[in-house]
Amino acid sequence: MKFSRSVSVALLHYIMLALIMLVGLGLRFWHLADKPLWLDETITAVFAMGRDYQEVPTGEFVGLEAIAQFFTLNPETTCPTIAQRLIRDSSHPPLFFCLLHQWLVWLQPNAENWIWGLRSLPALFGTGAIAALYLLNRIAFSPPAGLMAAALMAVSPYGVYLSQEARHYTLPILLISLAMLGSVLLVQDWLAQRTRAWVWLGWLGVNVLGLYVHYFFLLALVAQLASLIGMWLLYRHAVPPRTGVMLGLAIALLILGYLPWIPVLLTHFSRPETEWLGLSSGWGYLAPLYQGLVGWIIMLVMLPVERQPLAIAIPLGLLMVAFFFWVALQAFRGWRNFSHQYPTHPALWLITTTTLLILLEYLAIIYVLGKDLTLAPRYNFVYFPGLWALLALALTQIPPQQIHLRRARRRLGQALNAARYTPVLAIAAGLLSSILVVHSLGFYKSPDPEPVAAQILAGDPWQDSARQQPTAIAFHYPTPQELALDLSIALRLRVATRAQDGKVAIAFLPYEPNTAPRWQPLPSLPTSISPPFHFWNFAGPKAPTLPTELKIPTATQTQVSCSVNPAQPNNLFGMPYQRYRCPS
């Protein structure tokens, strides 16, 4: 009878795990290709497709079909070639891009589903992170803690958001979770007076891979090593004498494994791509504190507060804050309850210390190096697994709360005391939030190509007859970063105009980073663009004031005079752009 009950409990456990995995998988693949690629995803697409920025047609007006041709897969590109292009034109390690390229070679996507193919591998890594966090909490704490960790990760709106991005965030989340699992297994082996080679080799392999996936993985690795050294010092009288030697050898092997890429790492630190992360002075020094809090809140719950009227944004924002603090209070009670029951629990202190050290590293980067990582919530992915592992444990350890109220208030008090329902409510809030995120009601992109493309295709709002006129666009860019932004807009225009049979020509015009773009002369327009037409002039950073009039040569070598309309320029990520009317 007892054996039968154990089998039933185990079967129910794995059924629940399977359902959680299916929910997580479904959320991550739901409407996966519906959102347009934004700047960072376009950068991913260039390298993962095996392309080079030097292949972009520049210095002339081309049709949108040329942009579509550029974003076709080149299966002959090798991983060393991708790595060399990343060294030259980007600031990222190569492993994720090489894996994604091979994934696309295997999928062989066409012009209709290549965006889905680009995002599907990160979505799979995001699903794998659910299983990894389950294993971490199950082995470190208990099966219920493992299930809770999987459930929270599956429905986290932050986790779903990152999983639907064609970027290298879900793979390091997966690897960090596995690395922390390896750390727990190492400490368990130390205390059990045993050595398992596969644990050491697995932990080493995961960390070396992580170093070649994202530079921020260094933060997780340093925190792991500091925590492991601390645990070794704490239990040095209870662990085998060879443990310290093996830990030192492991650190040497990690350095040796990363040695070939260290010169590139030092070079990438001086690149200009992260200049926008600068820390503001004065009151701006406090901004990382509340921005960091917002980053924590949206890991748990994300309601439609962005780009909404204040009458909607303020009440929903307050509801998010109140719900977060209520869950945090209950989680703290659960964490404290567990730590009191098991004051020397090695896994608890290992994961807690690792997570706290990562947070301290973030503060050092912000306030010592002057790089405000809280400006972009996506950068919180390094401590996300550790924080979620601890939250899941805490929510399974909430102690019963005694209510001391008078009879007249007892029923109301019992209704308000919903501590025991905290795990269910946290999962329900996450599920609702993830559904909203999937339907583009949260985590808006910045810069977002969608409103810019819609503005271009809207024509002249003051003259309805001009809405179907052809459109010419000139993008001035100083670096590959700005070129990728321009390509993201061109891609969105390509998608929007395929069903409209519109005439759009685009020119990508390079200029030196330290010089202003030249407004004249512009390239000749193709034969498909003739007056009257709209002309959009996109200036790069550090550009002077846009001119009020331009002369643009046509295919017949005649020049068309174009004047600003309206007079007020627009702004895209600090770069001005302006519409001109070019009459016949």
Residue 10: the pLDDT is 82
CA angle 12, 433, 138 (to 5 degrees): 35
Cβ distance 533 to 470 under 8 Å? yes
* Residue 547 pLDDT grade (very low, low, confident, very high; cuts 50, 70, 90): confident
- 398-415: average pLDDT: 55
CA distances from 238 to 186, 187, 228, 229, 245 (A): 14, 11, 14, 14, 15
Residue 463: the pLDDT is 45
- 109-122: average pLDDT: 92
What are the extents of the domains in the chain? 1-31+119-258+305-363+383-400+415-445, 34-112+447-584
| Higher local confidence (pLDDT), 186 or 570 | 186
- 118-137: average pLDDT: 98
Residue 497: the pLDDT is 74
Helix axes 170-191, 114-140, angle to 10 degrees: 20
Helix axes 39-48, 114-140, angle to 10 degrees: 100
Residue 395: the pLDDT is 95
pLDDT digits over 211-246, tens only? 999 999 999 999 999 999 999 999 888 888 889 999
Residue 455: the pLDDT is 85
Residue 540: the pLDDT is 79
- 480-501: average pLDDT: 82
Indicate the average pLDDT of the chain.
89
* Residue 558 pLDDT grade (very low, low, confident, very high; cuts 50, 70, 90): confident
Residue 459: the pLDDT is 61
Kindly write down the DSSP assignment for every residue of 10-31, as one continuous string. HHHHHHHHHHHHHHHHHHHHTT
pLDDT digits over 56-100, tens only? 999 899 988 888 899 999 999 999 999 999 999 988 999 999 999
pLDDT digits over 288-311, tens only? 999 999 999 999 999 999 888 999
| Higher local confidence (pLDDT), 383 or 462 | 383
Q: Bridge partners of 477?
A: 510
| Higher local confidence (pLDDT), 419 or 258 | 258
- 12-40: average pLDDT: 94
pLDDT digits over 57-68, tens only? 998 999 888 888
CA angle 112, 115, 117 (to 5 degrees): 95
The lowest-confidence range among 103-112, 135-144, 270-279, 402-411 is 402-411
Residue 415: the pLDDT is 45
